[in-house]
Chain A
């Protein structure tokens, strides 16, 4: 056999049918393999390792599997492809996986993933969970806060009570929190109903009620509760998924806990603790845990949820009622054991404290003691403060207080208390009031009453002023000043001693009683009057009661007085006391001497010696001569009596002289002179005394002056005054002439001749002299003839009218014949008058006469100044100076401004109206003021201003009507201006109709601007 094997002609093309092996190729291959199978050869020929035929065979047999396998291998080896492949199947894989296993498998992975995510960026997860957590957290926090407050309230309520202590002990003993214990004990409540309500439909799932609780149909209630929840949620647009937490009605509270599918509502009576919320929530959670599915699928059939009732039952059993435990006797005993000794100790220290307090308050009520500080420390008492030295001793006040003085430590500082009683004490010490003064305290005021001398009162007043600074009032108004009494007594004593020293006064007794003075004694009538001696003693005479008995003092001076009184010694006798003797010296008639001797004899009995040996006896002759001389000297002083000779011879008196018959009668003058008329021999010759008074007397007797004449003596001249007819005056004048030979002068010039002619002449002269004094009148000639008066002369027309001057002169105008010729006086006064009349200077110009020159000063319009200058030139020809150099031209600027203001003013009218509307009133007021001011200023400047009021109308209507309405408007304005004080003569009126329009206008509508009254100013 050859080793050459014909190659099997394998079809190159693969089988057309993939699913089927190329049978032909397989057969050929198998034939070839079979040819080669030779058992002998088998040992010699190894089948070549790389026999392509094997490959081919493999290809043929499992080629498709290989390619599939390689694809899968490729898929597994390429992570991206694998991921894509797994991703495709993962959701369905998870869905079909066993839940429990998948959960367990995923749990750690998810945990790790979440942890990783949080580590990477916590935000992501926070954002995801935020909507879930926030409401939960909010709710939880809210409840926690409520809970805290509740327990705080409870704790506070119980913390200091006996219960509180007990509960603290219990908390400590049981190791629970105090609040729990408080809760357990303090809150009394009962859960009466529990409703489990389907959240969706509001249908009742289960209702459990406490044994003793009743309610209406729970189905309706639960529905209504959810209706109300919906109502609240809708009404307030609340988006929260939670429901109403709490509804409270009196004792009853509805607490609801909202779960995902059901709401648990507990109806609680009483005061539930916040913790109850948690309990209810726990129940709800448990129900949801157990029956979540049934709850979710609840369709009104509660039979599925029978087990829930048991859970709710636990809620209903929640209650707490005030327990009534037995009394804790043991505790009480223990407490008592501690309390009794402690109480004892406390009582003792309390008592000590009380005593101390009593002492302190006693001190505080003490006047003059101010407790600043006090305390008890360690059983010792400390007190500090101020005390008045006059106040009670704080130490001594301790006695009786049961406070141990040894335990009291005081620290007192002295001060002066201003409490009235202390001030009183100090005042008593310092003022030392006299016994008559009593000091007392009345309503906090220190009142002094009684009597004291003024010196003391002064000191007291000073003290009162010092006190007024801050102390109590020291009222000394009730202290009577006794100084007057004392002083009065002093004065009285002075008076008494003065009386005692008085000669002729013997004071027997004197005393003072009740401000009255009594004195008694003897007084010589000639002694000084005790009463009069009072003067100057300042003793009130009204208070002096005197009782004097007269006696005759034998003291020489009294005797002298009595002698003087009884003997009436003539002036020529002088009595005096010489060495207690009364000596009379001088001259006296013998009768007097005889009486004096008799008196001397009387006196010799016990009185002083009356020595009259020194009195010379004066004879009656001598006295007669004396009298005569007195008479003579009396005559000599008589006017109209001239003593030429007198003498005394042989007891006869002789006298000779002249006497005026009008003088006093010398004989009658004897009476009263003690000159014996029988012994007087007079020889008088009459004469006319030229002494003025005698002349006057004689004139009066001889002239018989009329009553209208009065005589008087002026400087030794006899003056006659008054009026008398000329006949009497003639007689008087004759007498005067007679008298003129010697003295005195008889002046009758002051006697006016009252004869009519004379008087008329007098009047005339008076008139003439009056005329002559008139400026502008020159009297050329005047005569009085046959009772008529003639006068002629010149007169200026501007001078006073001579006729008018007659009035008041008593000259009869009918008897006056005047002849006056007019002339122009060049007297400056008249020139000024004429100028004023002709030039009419404006008010701004002053014309005056200065040293005979006429000076014109001021402002005037130019035209006036020109006229004044012309006048000045004319006058200069007559020698009269008219000085116009000081005239200034008037400044019309202000006037022009005013004129402008007036002329631009228009008064407007409504259509067809001739009276301006009320809105024009202010315009009219202003216009009137301006016109008045302008007119006044113009007048001052010598110019007359006139104002033309022109009325206008608009162009509507007939022309004639317009003309009349325009004039009427101007008239109205004139009346209105007149009413505002503008003189009507300054206002001219015209109507311009439509001819002077202000603005061109539309005939149809008219123009309000053209309905007006305009004003133009004209200056004359």
Chain B
């Protein structure tokens, strides 16, 4: 049994929870997010040589970085950064959250998801910016909770990254 603690980070209402809802095993209600501030799901990813259980800590999305509970990230081996593609500000939030986490626990692998790719008409992030981030070697996925597009890929990617 191989498990990895993965934290999902992102601003308020970027769609973290709905993004993974269809892809994970969950036993806890979403009210945990608002009460305890975290909800734990599990995503099993089958890699060619092994199966990894990603234990996803879905942290309550906050645009206020100050109220972010860093302690929940302790022991995590990877991050899922989620950005709302229709709100450019959420990219900054995701990046800031990542910076805080890395400052506390050191660098760790992550995937960056631009969510709500189905809302192309309201898309607010220029492709050039995404390309720029890709050139930094970042794993970036345009996802849609609606279609489930790329979500599995992203988890697979992250799973392989954290088990290397």
The interface of chain A, by Cβ under 8 A from chain B, is: 198, 200-204, 216-217, 219-221, 223-224, 227-228, 230-231, 233-234, 299-303
Which residues on the B side are within 8 Å of A234 (C-beta)? 69, 71
Which residues on the A side are within 8 Å of B57 (C-beta)? 223, 227
- In the complex, what distance in Å separates the CA atom of A198 from the CA atom of B94? 27
Does any Cβ of A come within 8 Å of B120's Cβ?
no
- In the complex, what distance in Å separates the CA atom of A223 from the CA atom of B57? 8
Given known contacts A219-B53, A220-B28, is B3 in contact with A231 (CB within 8 Å)? no
A202 touches B75 (CB 8 A): yes
- In the complex, what distance in Å separates the CA atom of A299 from the CA atom of B75? 9
B75 touches A220 (CB 8 A): no
Extra contacts besides A202-B75, A224-B40, A230-B72 (19): CB < 8 Å: A198-B75, A201-B75, A203-B3, A203-B4, A217-B25, A219-B53, A220-B26, A220-B42, A220-B55, A223-B40, A224-B32, A227-B40, A230-B74, A231-B37, A231-B38, A233-B71, A234-B69, A300-B4, A300-B5
B71 touches A302 (CB 8 A): no
B69 touches A203 (CB 8 A): no
Q: Looking across the interface, which residue of chain A has its beta carbon closest to that of B71?
A: A230
Pairs A–B under 8 Å by Cβ, sample size 30: A198-B75, A200-B74, A200-B75, A202-B5, A203-B3, A203-B5, A217-B27, A219-B3, A219-B42, A219-B53, A219-B55, A220-B26, A220-B27, A220-B40, A220-B42, A223-B40, A223-B57, A224-B28, A227-B40, A230-B72, A230-B74, A231-B36, A231-B37, A231-B69, A234-B71, A300-B4, A300-B52, A300-B77, A301-B1, A303-B2
Which residues on the B side are within 8 Å of A216 (C-beta)? 27
CB distance from B33 to the nearest CB of A (A): 11
Which residues on the B side are within 8 Å of A201 (C-beta)? 5, 74-77
Which residues on the A side are within 8 Å of B84 (C-beta)? none
Which residues on the B side are within 8 Å of A204 (C-beta)? 3
A300 touches B40 (CB 8 A): no
Which residues on the A side are within 8 Å of B38 (C-beta)? 227, 231
Binary flags per residue of B67-94, CB closer than 8 Å to A gives 1, else 0: 0010110111100000000000000000
- In the complex, what distance in Å separates the CA atom of A234 from the CA atom of B55? 21
Give B25-74 interface residues, CB cut-off 8 Å to A: 25-28, 32, 36-38, 40-42, 52-53, 55, 57, 69, 71-72, 74
Which residues on the B side are within 8 Å of A301 (C-beta)? 1-2
B75 touches A203 (CB 8 A): yes
- In the complex, what distance in Å separates the CA atom of A231 from the CA atom of B70? 11
CB distance from B27 to the nearest CB of A (A): 4
Q: Looking across the interface, which residue of chain A has its beta carbon closest to that of B50?
A: A301
Q: Looking across the interface, which residue of chain B has its beta carbon closest to that of A229?
A: B71
CB distance from B75 to the nearest CB of A (A): 3
CB distance from A347 to the nearest CB of B (A): 66
CB distance from A981 to the nearest CB of B (A): 79
Binary flags per residue of B1-14, CB closer than 8 Å to A gives 1, else 0: 11111000000000
Which residues on the A side are within 8 Å of B77 (C-beta)? 201, 299-300
Please classify how large the interface on chain B is, using the bins under 10, 10 to 19, 20 to 34, 35 or more.
Answer: 20 to 34
Which residues on the A side are within 8 Å of B53 (C-beta)? 219
CB distance from A289 to the nearest CB of B (A): 23
- In the complex, what distance in Å separates the CA atom of A221 from the CA atom of B55? 10
Q: Looking across the interface, which residue of chain A has its beta carbon closest to that of B41?
A: A220
- In the complex, what distance in Å separates the CA atom of A223 from the CA atom of B55? 8
A227 touches B42 (CB 8 A): no
- In the complex, what distance in Å separates the CA atom of A219 from the CA atom of B38? 15
Which residues on the B side are within 8 Å of A228 (C-beta)? 36
The interface of chain B, by Cβ under 8 A from chain A, is: 1-5, 25-28, 32, 36-38, 40-42, 52-53, 55, 57, 69, 71-72, 74-77
- In the complex, what distance in Å separates the CA atom of A230 from the CA atom of B76? 14
Interface of A is mostly: helix
Q: Looking across the interface, which residue of chain A has its beta carbon closest to that of B74?
A: A200
- In the complex, what distance in Å separates the CA atom of A220 from the CA atom of B39? 9
- In the complex, what distance in Å separates the CA atom of A233 from the CA atom of B52? 29
CB distance from B57 to the nearest CB of A (A): 7
Closest 10 CB pairs of A and B: A201-B75, A200-B75, A201-B5, A216-B27, A300-B3, A223-B40, A227-B38, A300-B4, A231-B36, A302-B1
- In the complex, what distance in Å separates the CA atom of A885 from the CA atom of B36? 114
Which residues on the B side are within 8 Å of A220 (C-beta)? 25-28, 40-42, 55
- In the complex, what distance in Å separates the CA atom of A744 from the CA atom of B41? 163
- In the complex, what distance in Å separates the CA atom of A219 from the CA atom of B44? 11
- In the complex, what distance in Å separates the CA atom of A353 from the CA atom of B4? 81
B69 touches A223 (CB 8 A): no
- In the complex, what distance in Å separates the CA atom of A230 from the CA atom of B74? 10
- In the complex, what distance in Å separates the CA atom of A445 from the CA atom of B45? 103
- In the complex, what distance in Å separates the CA atom of A224 from the CA atom of B26? 11
Which residues on the A side are within 8 Å of B76 (C-beta)? 201
- In the complex, what distance in Å separates the CA atom of A575 from the CA atom of B144? 170
- In the complex, what distance in Å separates the CA atom of A198 from the CA atom of B38? 18
Q: Looking across the interface, which residue of chain B has its beta carbon closest to that of A227?
A: B38
Given known contacts A230-B72, A300-B77, is B42 in contact with A217 (CB within 8 Å)? yes
- In the complex, what distance in Å separates the CA atom of A230 from the CA atom of B71? 7
CB distance from B164 to the nearest CB of A (A): 12
CB distance from B163 to the nearest CB of A (A): 8
Which residues on the A side are within 8 Å of B37 (C-beta)? 231
A300 touches B2 (CB 8 A): yes
- In the complex, what distance in Å separates the CA atom of A299 from the CA atom of B5? 9
Which residues on the A side are within 8 Å of B36 (C-beta)? 227-228, 231
- In the complex, what distance in Å separates the CA atom of A200 from the CA atom of B73? 10
Q: Looking across the interface, which residue of chain A has its beta carbon closest to that of B76?
A: A201
Which residues on the B side are within 8 Å of A198 (C-beta)? 75
CB distance from B50 to the nearest CB of A (A): 9
Which residues on the B side are within 8 Å of A233 (C-beta)? 71
Which residues on the B side are within 8 Å of A202 (C-beta)? 5, 55, 75
Most chain B CB neighbours (cut-off 10 Å) among A202, A204, A228: A202
A302 touches B69 (CB 8 A): no
Which residues on the B side are within 8 Å of A219 (C-beta)? 3, 42, 53, 55
Q: Looking across the interface, which residue of chain A has its beta carbon closest to that of B5?
A: A201
- In the complex, what distance in Å separates the CA atom of A233 from the CA atom of B25? 27
Which residues on the B side are within 8 Å of A200 (C-beta)? 74-75
- In the complex, what distance in Å separates the CA atom of A219 from the CA atom of B55? 8
- In the complex, what distance in Å separates the CA atom of A299 from the CA atom of B55? 13
Which residues on the A side are within 8 Å of B40 (C-beta)? 220, 223-224, 227
- In the complex, what distance in Å separates the CA atom of A221 from the CA atom of B40? 8
Q: Looking across the interface, which residue of chain B has its beta carbon closest to that of A198?
A: B75
Most chain B CB neighbours (cut-off 10 Å) among A198, A220, A234, A301: A220
Q: Looking across the interface, which residue of chain B has its beta carbon closest to that of A228?
A: B36
CB distance from B150 to the nearest CB of A (A): 24
Most chain A CB neighbours (cut-off 10 Å) among B1, B27, B41: B1
Most chain B CB neighbours (cut-off 10 Å) among A217, A228, A233: A217
- In the complex, what distance in Å separates the CA atom of A204 from the CA atom of B53? 11
> Which of B26, B28, B55 is in CB contact (< 8 Å) with A203?
B55
A302 touches B3 (CB 8 A): yes
Which residues on the A side are within 8 Å of B69 (C-beta)? 230-231, 234
Which residues on the B side are within 8 Å of A231 (C-beta)? 36-38, 69
Q: Looking across the interface, which residue of chain A has its beta carbon closest to that of B44?
A: A219
CB distance from A227 to the nearest CB of B (A): 5
- In the complex, what distance in Å separates the CA atom of A986 from the CA atom of B116? 102
Which residues on the B side are within 8 Å of A221 (C-beta)? 27
Which residues on the A side are within 8 Å of B52 (C-beta)? 300
- In the complex, what distance in Å separates the CA atom of A230 from the CA atom of B2? 23
- In the complex, what distance in Å separates the CA atom of A95 from the CA atom of B119? 63
- In the complex, what distance in Å separates the CA atom of A667 from the CA atom of B27? 165
Q: Looking across the interface, which residue of chain B has its beta carbon closest to that of A200?
A: B75
Most chain A CB neighbours (cut-off 10 Å) among B28, B38, B55, B71: B55
CB distance from B83 to the nearest CB of A (A): 24
- In the complex, what distance in Å separates the CA atom of A233 from the CA atom of B76? 18
